[in-house]
Amino acid sequence: MSGPVGPQEKEGIWIISVIGASIRKLRDDAWDASISPDGSKIVFRDVENHHIWIMGADGEQPKELIKPEEGYHLGKPTWFPDGRRIAYVKWHVEKGRLTLLVESRNADGNDPVTLISNAQLVDFAWRGSDRMLYVVGEAPPNQYDSNIWELRFDPQTGKPRSAPRQLTDWTGFNFQNPELTADGKRLVFLNTHAQSDVYVGELAGGNSELKAPRRFTLDERLDWPGGWSSDSKSLVIYSDRNGNFDIYRQNLDSTNAEPIATGPEEKWAPQITADGKWVVFMAWPKSGDIANSGKLMRVPVSGGPAEFIMNIKGHPGIVSSNDPSETAGGFPSFRCPRQGTSCILAEREDRKQIVFTAFDPVQGKKAQVATVPRRPDRPAMWDVAPDGSRIAVSSYEENAGDIQILPLSSGEPKKISVKNWNRFSAIAWAADGRSLFAASFSSRGTSVVHVSLNGDAIELFKPVWDIFSLSPSPDGRSLAIGAIVTNANAWTIPNLPK
């Protein structure tokens, strides 16, 4: 078994005895464990670098087995049914496009062979000694559905023996965690549905209390929060409720959202300018070269024709992904503070640093204001202080909860080490600019914590949701939460096609 025990527990590999139900940790900082068919070895992925390792069944003699090429990541190492080879998922993202394949090597980590190359691959499982079942996501508009395919392979060489064959052609199903009985006739899987929604909770006690958030968006599509109006009475959101992502405004006491910017382009992450006149958002065409065709646009708060501000680099998610979290944020991204005339744009440069640029929402780009290094294999998140004077930057770290505070004019950078919290998936400045909110991920849900600038933190709320966005209202009374809620039911196919 692999996984974290709690929000401060390191991810690791555990062994559970079926006699007496005792549990023992074999190794920290490890994930995706797979036991060899003879029970003598365990192959796993390390948390820090996404390299594949091998060790004995009791955790002895760990050895790095496979190191990916620059820019690639590895996951889900799995023994072949006969134990001769190890299969794993290998992926690479470049300019918003995903390359994903299942590769295998012998038990010494040599002789790499590609089984499948498909950017829509979701999961895979073995069917007997020479067949693999794998799940492939569907194309839009059914990108949150998937179906099952089969591939025959040579168990000795790992090479495919035939063309892939589709076994199911269903709608309304998203196959996850497929497993087959020993005879290969019955398949068990989770039919998983995930959607993002906006929740709004009431803050109290000087940000020491968050009353149970209520669901703000009621449709069954993807919804994410953007910025607040200056009077804190409405919120702009982006939603794909009508097919592609458009911009909407919804009053805090209403269940209906009013469209502000619609059309064929994908429109993300709206913010309201400090003067309250404009809604600024990012836009990309639904097809074509998304890496070089992103734009910052503005539209009057009351609605009307969208106007071009300037071009932006890249795309914040993976194009055509069936993972709702890929629509939550990333880089490029921007924020508009409540004071001043400039907004702040963040873009990736050379995969290893983030460049922050101040821009005027009417006149366009002004000047670079800060840069920070980043690891390309770590999600990063950021926010600008309400007065526009500082930027807070963090990254998703397994064993640390560090937040950098970068002044945009004068002063020295500061690092906040948040005590007892890590795995941040979102951060946001509080309305008064004197503290921060953070979302701390764990396998049992994401905690919303209030963080002082000296690193002290208290937990405000912990649902079972995965939280990727936080947006406090200007009056400090409300907190908008962008969360993914997942529902899964176990299903079985009793007579899987041969």
3-state secondary structure of 101: strand
Per the CB < 8 A criterion, the answer to whether 243 and 494 are in contact is: no
Across the range 115-131, mean pLDDT stands at 94
Alpha-carbon torsion, ordered 19, 20, 21, 23, to 10 deg: -100
Please, what is the average pLDDT of the chain? 91
Determine phi and psi for 326, rounding to 5 degrees. Answer: -70, -10
pLDDT value, residue 29: 85
- The tally of domains found in the chain comes to 1
- Structure tokens belonging to residue 197: 């929604």
Determine phi and psi for 415, rounding to 5 degrees. Answer: -110, 130
pLDDT band for 3, please (50, 70, 90 cuts).
Answer: very low
Q: How far apart are CA 482 and CA 398, in angstroms?
A: 22
Is residue 291 pLDDT above 80, yes or no? no
pLDDT value, residue 9: 59
pLDDT tens string 293-321: 799 999 999 888 999 999 998 888 876 67
Is residue 451 pLDDT above 60, yes or no? yes
- Structure tokens belonging to residue 292: 């070089």
Higher pLDDT, 182 or 486: 486
Across the range 3-25, mean pLDDT stands at 71
Is residue 114 pLDDT above 50, yes or no? yes
Domain assignment present for residue 322? The answer is yes
pLDDT value, residue 7: 47
pLDDT value, residue 497: 83
Domain region containing 379: 194-487
Per the CB < 8 A criterion, the answer to whether 313 and 295 are in contact is: no
CATH code of 304's domain: 2.120.10.30
Name the percent of the chain lying above pLDDT 90: 74
Domain assignment present for residue 496? The answer is no
Domain assignment present for residue 382? The answer is yes
pLDDT value, residue 188: 96
Domain assignment present for residue 291? The answer is yes
pLDDT value, residue 320: 66
Across the range 53-81, mean pLDDT stands at 94
Domain assignment present for residue 11? The answer is no
pLDDT tens string 347-373: 988 778 999 999 999 988 889 999 999
Per the CB < 8 A criterion, the answer to whether 204 and 211 are in contact is: yes
Determine phi and psi for 426, rounding to 5 degrees. Answer: -165, 145
Domain assignment present for residue 454? The answer is yes
pLDDT tens string 145-203: 999 999 999 999 999 999 999 999 999 999 999 999 888 889 999 999 999 999 999 99
Across the range 52-80, mean pLDDT stands at 94
Domain assignment present for residue 342? The answer is yes
Q: Please tell me the pTM assigned to this model.
A: 0.90
Domain assignment present for residue 493? The answer is no
pLDDT value, residue 8: 52
pLDDT tens string 366-391: 899 999 998 777 789 999 999 999 99
pLDDT value, residue 235: 98
Is residue 466 pLDDT above 70, yes or no? yes
Per the CB < 8 A criterion, the answer to whether 155 and 130 are in contact is: yes
DSSP 269-324: EEEE-TTSSEEEEEEE-SSS-TTS-EEEEEEETT----EEEEEE-S-SS-TT-S-G
